[in-house]
Structure 1
Amino acid sequence: MPPRPKSAGPMAVSSSLNSVFISPRTPKTPRNAAERYDEDDVELELLADHEREQAHRDLSEDQEDEAAKPETVPKKISAKDKRNMVLLCVLYLIQGVPLGLALGSVPFLLKEHLSYSQLATFALSSYPYSLKLLWSPIVDSVYFRRIGRRKSWIIPMQLIVGSLMLYISLNVQKLMKDPANHVGELTAIFTLLVSFSATQDIAVDGWALTLLSQDCLSYASTCQTIGLNTGFFASFTVFLAFNSEAFAHKWGLPVLTISAYLRFWAVICYLVTIWLLFFKKEDKEVESEEMDMSIGNVYKTIWTICKLRHVQLLIVIHLFAKIGFVAHEATSLKLVEKGLKREDLAVAVLIDFPFQILGGWFSAKWSRGDKPLRPWLYAFWPRFLFGVVSVFTVYFFPKPPISTGFFIFLIGHTILSSFTSTVQFVGISAFHTRVSDPLIGGTYMTLLNTFTNMGGTWPKWFILNGVDWFSIANCHLPKTSSQVLIKATECISHAGKAHCKAVKGDCVYERDGYYIVTTACMIFGMVFLVAAIYPAARKLQGLPTSAWRLKSM
């Protein structure tokens, strides 16, 4: 079989955590059978029969010993690689900051002023991060040679991200003071912010494959995990804690406003971009003559992958596998609605962060071997169990202030629940790495990870709207010893809540749609797991690796 042509790099880059694909090395083989005969067999013909048998055994033992030896001896990390690792962490950090705002802290700040239907509209701003496969071939193929293949995109994207954060900081008082009348503007701004951050992510992922030496390439995913998670948690948990007046008063610190926070990161974004432009030179990549890197060819490759029947089956599984869990994302919003302080929730998630790192390490070891989907499958039922616990936690949530014991329970539940999520993430990532064709590993991995992300993104709008659709709440106006029910005034929409508050009434839920939506999602998730995921996983995991290669079509 003729050797497969080498590629200068993937045609598109992966964008999920721990998803940088490294092509496996293969041992060198003799050029032809005649060469093996000339080097070994001619000498053996000069020996007697028993001597030839002994020589054959010696040669076999030598070959086994040689095969058992590692191909390369680990080298010490060079100073250049260390500097480039720091750079990658910083670039991923810049990307994680706007994601932490759009997916984390801003929805919490808006929850006090918006209905779930309005929050569903704002949730659309997170969709571009799951859809970046659509324009990743453009980012990978179009660039200015003078500036550099990756810097051609990273520099303008970071300038735009910094400018958007500066714009939000200057207008945040108007937008956040009356967010109900600015939902469309808030959604549009953060959609653009996430879109440009996602584009920067594509370029940084591609640069990571050439920025580090071959011996240190495996550290690329580590840099992504450290940088992206640090930026996300800085904008989510850390910001929410320092933004709380109660937290600042308790520790004698000034309140960190969202305006000041955004201005700080806008300046950091500008400084890093200027340094990249004038002080960091991008090495020229060797272009492969055998690999067509044109935009059209990359899109054709993606379509070719999608025509594989087992890839189509995996895509369907990805699109529906997370429905049973997506409703739990509204749990944290319900806890805040029930009276949980934002700073307490931030502390709980912050404590959970190091446990996520440890969980990822253990689950990575568990995912090795011929059945990487095993931990992904095993984690479904514990994750459903913790979902049921979340529902009961919301239902039996005590009146504030909560006790220390209950807060410890929340922390423990957060840690265990996120551990099952981490196990599933690492397990499915290991499977994607195993089946992706090394020739087009970037495109393959990006495609599979895109549908994995979409499975947790597309149901959000329907679920958050469903909470309002199935809820019934009316305004009760106290009057002496009785209550007068204002039938005409509902307490679901923002306008209804505002009107009830204006007449000094209380919104009373007769039916909370949260419980209906979460129950329906979990029932669907369990049925889909037994009826579709289990048989599909056994089939997909049993396929030989060659079945996933494009050459087998």
Structure 2
Amino acid sequence: MTKLSHENSNTSLMKESKPKHNREDGKYNKENIPPQNNDFYNVIFLLLLYTIQGVPIGVSSVVPLIVQDKVSYSQLSVLSLVSIPFSLKLLWAPIVDSVYCKKFGRRKSWIIPLQVLKSGRAVERQSGRALFCSLSMVQYSHSVSVWLGEKGHDINLYFLSAFFFILFFLMATQDIAVDGWALTMLSDENKGLASTCNILGQNIGYCASQISFITLNNKNVCFYIFKKYVKYMHLLFHQSSYYKNLYNNMDMIYPTFQPFIDMNIFLKFWGTFILIVTVFTLFKKEIIYDKEKNNKCIHKSRKDGGKNKGEGRGEDKDEGRGEDKDEGKGEDKDEGKGEDKDEDKDGGKNKGEDKDKDKDEGKDEGKDEGKDEDTDEDKHKDDFKNAKETYKNLYDLIFLPPMKIFIILFLINRLPFASVEVGTNFKMLKKGITKEEFAMFNPFFIPLSIILPAIIGRITQHIKPLHVYYYGYVLRYISNIILSSLIPLTQYMYANKQYLSQLNFYSYYLYIFIAQVFNNLSVDLMTVSSMSFQNIISDPQIGGTYMTFLNTINNMGSHWSTIFLWLLDYTDKTFCYRDVSPGRLENKMH
């Protein structure tokens, strides 16, 4: 009895450990097979690519903070035009989707350089946008430092705008390829994560480049770090006369002390970083989209393998059927005769096959000689045909009724927020708050800019993206009301600074932080959810063009801020009026 019960328990355990078998189609039930997530490394790789897109955006955002007290708002509005390539990239997106080197890869042909020409000033026309961007940042780093007015030079906003315009053009071209690659790189279940990678990566690149420059280019912050370092080294090596003299003469060092980095060093560092990421991309296997095989993504190297697998399955089926028939007839009857006959037949077939092969080889050699001459012309014809077809698909896409609604809504959706979000910080600087006080909040924004998109990305996998977008839109209205209250509050705080306590200013800083976090939350809700919706509805066959079109509409809707920034000069005027009251006449300034 014990043996039987022991055997029964073992068999029950064996049955529980095996997945249930579906007898109808001969496959295991998907419910009992543990899910395999192969997209982890793809997500990390996409984060890297989107991070290097955020670097030029962060670098360009530093420029207005450096020169805002030396130029007018109308001149600053010229700098805001450098992001126009992200709005116009739709014009050349079909070319990026259609023209590429098949051996190198559809997307990698535009992300990685095939050839760098002499002196590193240009690369091959069809590739190398990211590398050329890195070389531009390294090569022109000293010139940008001069144009910014560092070390006594005059500010040249037009050259700065031209440099960053070219930089944004190159990164916008890369963005087309990366957006299209993301649709085929990630599985169907995780396509929505592409929007999270986009926002998260660009936020990391933006914050890392902007905050690192603001911190390491500030003389007071750098001197504080240097002072702490000297103090620590003096305590560690108290017998060293070098650190002792430095520590005792810190006040004398301050007038001649220079920040750790300037724009020259800063651009060289980030240009090198982009170059390293670009080289790393060289070893990434690309997945191509095959519309003939149920619209699935397959590896190039597995095309032939898939065919061979199919042939193998067919052979197994035929062999199995043949064996069953032979067993039904009987194995002992005429085994020797059957074998001899089969050998004779196989020998005859093999001879016929050899003759056919020789004929085919002769024909193929003649064909190949003629094909080699026309390969270049055929490639150009195919590229032109594919680009023309992509432009036609784009034209048809624009006039779809749902797309017309999408275009109208996303062109005007940011109009109510533009004036408040673009002008609040500049107005607060005019009212008395310093750039150092603004920079004080930046270390807290770094983790938030990373955590919030990740959380929102998880939410959009369980809730419809457009529902999340609606909630973000309502919250953004509320956050703009809170932001607009910061301007009169700042004026009051700094006009009465000598009468207010330190506790009042701590409460004021906390209010600024809460207002900025609330605004960032609403912006991230709208951005991540809208991009998640775009990834879901995009067609991988023209993925780069489709995503670029949707992103272009979004970017064009964000340029309301440029108009309102230009109008700030006309609202920042001082007017003189006469106040006539009973028994009193005086001039007042408003």
Q: TM-score, normalised by structure 2?
A: 0.61
User: Match for residue 530 of structure 2?
Assistant: 428
CA distance in 1, matches of 2:409, 2:187: 36
CA distance in 2, matches of 1:335, 1:454: 27
Q: 1:184-221 CA distances to partner (integer Å, 9 max, x unpaired)?
A: 21111101101101111222333344556778766555
User: Match for residue 461 of structure 1?
Assistant: 562
Q: 1:417 to 1:85 in 2, by over 3 A?
A: closer
Match 1:298 to one of 369, 372, 390: 390
Equivalent positions of 1:3-402 (< 5 A) are: 70=31, 73-75=34-36, 77=38, 85-102=43-60, 104-155=61-112, 156-177=128-149, 182-211=156-185, 220-252=194-226, 254-274=259-279, 276=281, 280=283, 282-283=285-286, 285=288, 288=291, 294-327=386-419, 328-364=421-457, 367=460, 372-397=465-490, 398-399=493-494
CA distance in 1, matches of 2:516, 2:81: 25
Aligned identity (percent) is 31
- Contact map agreement 1:74 1:215 (CA 8 A) in 2: no
Q: 1:152 to 1:434 in 2, by over 3 A?
A: closer
Task: Tell me the amino acid that sits aligned with residue 468 of structure 1.
Answer: D
Q: 1:371 to 1:85 in 2, by over 3 A?
A: closer
Q: Kindly name which structure, 1 or 2, has the bigger radius of gyration based on alpha carbons.
A: 2
Pair 1:412-2:417 in alignment = no
CA distance in 2, matches of 1:440, 1:431: 17
CA distance in 2, matches of 1:439, 1:467: 44
Q: 1:198 to 1:239 in 2, by over 3 A?
A: same
Q: 1:336 to 1:323 in 2, by over 3 A?
A: same
Q: 1:337 to 1:318 in 2, by over 3 A?
A: same
CA distance in 2, matches of 1:473, 1:267: 47
* Residue range with higher mean Cα deviation, 296-305 or 263-272: 263-272
CA distance in 2, matches of 1:376, 1:76: 28
Q: How far did 1:222 drift?
A: 4.8
- How many residues align? The count is 409
Q: How far did 1:142 drift?
A: 1.0
User: Match for residue 12 of structure 1?
Assistant: none
- Contact map agreement 1:161 1:196 (CA 8 A) in 2: yes
Q: How far did 1:116 drift?
A: 0.9
Q: How far did 1:467 drift?
A: 0.8
CA RMSD of aligned residues (A): 3.6
CA distance in 2, matches of 1:301, 1:420: 34
Q: How far did 1:430 drift?
A: 4.3
CA distance in 2, matches of 1:108, 1:358: 26
Q: 1:366 to 1:187 in 2, by over 3 A?
A: same
- Contact map agreement 1:169 1:260 (CA 8 A) in 2: yes
Residue ranges of structure 2 left out of the alignment (5+ in a row): 1-21, 113-127, 228-258, 296-381, 577-587
Q: How far did 1:444 drift?
A: 3.7
Q: 1:112-158 CA distances to partner (integer Å, 9 max, x unpaired)?
A: 22211111111000111233222221112112234332222112112
CA distance in 2, matches of 1:195, 1:144: 21
Q: TM-score, normalised by structure 1?
A: 0.65
Q: 1:296 to 1:194 in 2, by over 3 A?
A: same
Q: 1:221 to 1:115 in 2, by over 3 A?
A: same
